[in-house]
Amino acid sequence: MMKERISVILFIIGIMVCCNNPPAENTINISKGDSISIKSISRNIRNNPKNAELFSKRATMYWQMHRTDSAINDASIAYRLDSLNEKYALEYAEYLFKSVKTNDAISLLIRYLNNKKERVAVVTRIAQYYLYLKDYRQAKEYIDKAFLINSQFPEAHFIKGMFLVENNKPNDAIKAFQSVIMYDPNYYEAYIMLGLLSQELNDSLALQYYKTASQLKPNEPQPYYNMGYYYQENGKYDKAFEMYNYILRHVDKKYSNAYFNQGYIYMRYLKNYQKALAYFDSVLFIEPDRVEAVYNKGYCFEMMNDYTSARSMFIKAKSIIPNYQLAIDGLNRLDKKTH
């Protein structure tokens, strides 16, 4: 298993959700000042009960309000009213997928293909869902179908890249993601994946991929965090701090990983346990039950010979996750030191 393999796979799972949101034209932010509200759009629906677009828009509004069942219901109505419309099929499937009804989403899109066979976006989405289920045989089958329909479709190359990462073929995956940006130079997620894979292969080109991603989405913390982590792993702690602090000052002041990694650098590499404690406290202010931060506080106290505080933190970590092995080991170390 390559270095940072786990972090790549976890990020893939996030991308598989984030890169398939409902189309932008249906995004409606809900607030008191909105001219379009649930009530008003519902009145329009009563006056136009066969207007699929109205149901689609209300589904989006319900989803943003976390009214999942209502969103799925309206999306299903929109699709039934216009069952040949690709957008409604993909929206309905995506709500099902995000509600952990992946098999239902696949079945829906396969039924849709019975009427509309040459739909590369739909075929690619099915491949994505099979990949999420780790059904690699079916995923590859639908990836191949997508390329037969349109060999230049960026998302098909992206899903192929994720398939190759899942099957531990990083060099081939890089080629796939490079094809993505060849056909769509603004495909943010492809740059993130190219950065992650290049970083695993200890290729400094990772930084350029992250920088490009940050230019595409300057308000997203991920590219800056990845740059910081790259510098951290290569011993350039000042540059790592610079990236993490940039996030906290300019992007998201509650981005807990930026605090956590700074604390980790002070704890693991610089042996400045007092400073590390302050950063882990910041993490726990945002995420009170983040067990790694609790344990690390205990470890810092242990290194400072404050065994009472260390024991308290290890016990707290175990209260969050009873079988948390690091905390168990920490308590065992303290027992040996104090007896």
**Torsion angle, alpha carbons of 58, 131, 256, 4, to 10:** -170
Mean pLDDT confidence for 149-156: 97
d(CA 291, CA 293): 5
Express each pLDDT in 283-331 by its tens digit. 999 999 999 999 999 999 999 999 999 999 999 999 999 999 999 999 9
Q: Which residues contact 291 (CB under 8 A, 6 or more apart)?
A: 317, 320, 321, 324, 327
User: Do you know the residue count of the chain?
Assistant: 339
DSSP string, 239-268: HHHHHHHHIIIII-TT-HHHHHHHHHIIII
The hierarchical CATH code for the domain 267-339 is 1.25.40.10
The pLDDT of residue 158 is 97
d(CA 312, CA 309): 5
Mean pLDDT confidence for 48-60: 96
**Residue 36 gets which letter from DSSP?**
S
DSSP string, 99-136: TT-HHHHHHHHHHHHHH----HHHHHHHHHHHHHTT-H
Q: Vertex 105, ends 101 and 106: CA angle to 5°?
A: 120
Please report where in the chains the tokens 């991929």 appear, as a residue.
209
Distance (Å) of CA 19 to CA 53, 96, 158: 22, 15, 10
Tokens standing for residue 63? 């989803």
Judged on CB neighbours under 10 Å (0-12, 13-18, 19+), 176 is buried
Mean pLDDT (the chain) is: 91
Confidence of residue 118 (pLDDT cuts 50, 70, 90): confident
**pLDDT above 80: residue 233:** yes
**pLDDT above 90: residue 5:** no
The pLDDT of residue 129 is 97
Architecture of domain 5-266: Alpha Horseshoe (1.25)
Count CB atoms within 10 A of the CB of residue 153.
19
The pLDDT of residue 13 is 41
Express each pLDDT in 81-99 by its tens digit. 999 999 999 999 999 999 9
Name the residue ranges covered by the structural domains of the chain.
Answer: 5-266, 267-339
CATH topology agreement for domains 5-266 and 267-339:
yes
d(CA 149, CA 248): 44
